[in-house]
Amino acid sequence: MGKATGKVVKLNDAFSFLGGVDASTGELKVEDGGNISNKIFVFPKGKGSTVGSFVMYDLMVHGKAPAAVINRSAETIVTTGAVIASIPMVDNIDVDLICNGDEVVVDGDIGTVDIKGVKCIGAVSSALIVDDKVLLLKRPKTARSFPDVQSLVAGKIEPGETPEEAAKREIFEETQIVVDKPNVSGPKIYVREGDVIWEVYPFMYKLSAAKPVLNHENVSYEWFPVEEMKSKKTTVAKTNEIVAEMLKM
């Protein structure tokens, strides 16, 4: 469906082209507004009337169509509109990783999105479980990544390491706890922080007992009940989801 390069205009909610945009100007009528003309328009999914497809065509007629559309999940109205208006479109994209103002390259032919100036770094995040409680480490305010919040035992994967080797090393370095094989290896997740996308490999270790001895990378620790993790608000992004997903496995 073609290629495009441009700056991102992003919405956080499902969007209807019918009533959501002025087809003669490209001005949005929802959230904080903005103009999508010749921009990369990012939103989770479409909604609303099938007339929305023809609004996309009308945008094209007025020369105000977006340069491309990026969705988390494709929806018939938006897909049809993209086709009739010749707008490159990509779906199955984690739109949480894209920010307003990003410069991106969209390739609708192969379904990829490249965010300029953003690098991807491999990391591990390990949940240590003792008596249905998970170990949370408090990061210092001076930490280079995710300062002043709680995290699982996490860190970068060093060159030549497998994710499992990195997890074992990080656990020992940060807590002096020795582990063997993980009980659970979760699916990879991605977390955006500024100009970095962390490619995170999650692990879970169920231990009979453990007493952490922290190094300089963290200032305190807490054993927190796993059943209360859903309501925990002071953790690194997606920590709650990581723990919940691995507990099901």
Q: Which of 193, 118, 202 is nearest to 155 (CA)?
A: 202
Per-residue pLDDT tens for 54-87? 999 999 999 999 999 999 999 999 999 999 999 9
For CATH 3.90.79.10, the residue range(s) in the chain are 119-247
For CATH 3.50.30.10, the residue range(s) in the chain are 3-115
Average pLDDT (142-169) is 97
Per-residue pLDDT tens for 81-136? 999 999 999 999 999 999 999 999 999 999 999 999 999 999 999 999 999 999 99
Strands (E) located in 11-170: 40-42, 68-70, 89-90, 103-107, 112-115, 119-130, 133-138, 150-151, 153-156
Please report, rounded to a whole number, the percentage of residues in the chain having pLDDT higher than 90.
100
Residue 187 has, within 13 A of its CA and on its CB side, a CA count of 6
How far, in Å, CA of 249 to CA of 186, rounded? Answer: 8
pTM of the model: 0.91
State yes or no: pLDDT of 213 exceeds 90.
yes
The predicted pLDDT at position 186 comes to 97
The predicted pLDDT at position 11 comes to 98
- Top-tier CATH class for 119-247: alpha beta
Q: Which candidate in 49, 73, 86, 220 is catalytic?
A: 49
* Mean confidence (pLDDT) of the chain: 97
Q: How large is the C-alpha radius of gyration of the chain?
A: 22
Does 49 qualify as catalytic in the annotation? yes
DSSP string, 223-236: EEEGGGGGG--SBS
Pick the CATH number of 3-115 from 3.40.50.720, 3.30.70.2190, 3.50.30.10, 3.20.20.20: 3.50.30.10
The predicted pLDDT at position 173 comes to 98
State yes or no: pLDDT of 1 exceeds 80.
no
Q: Which of 165, 139, 141 is nearest to 153 (CA)?
A: 139
The predicted pLDDT at position 27 comes to 98
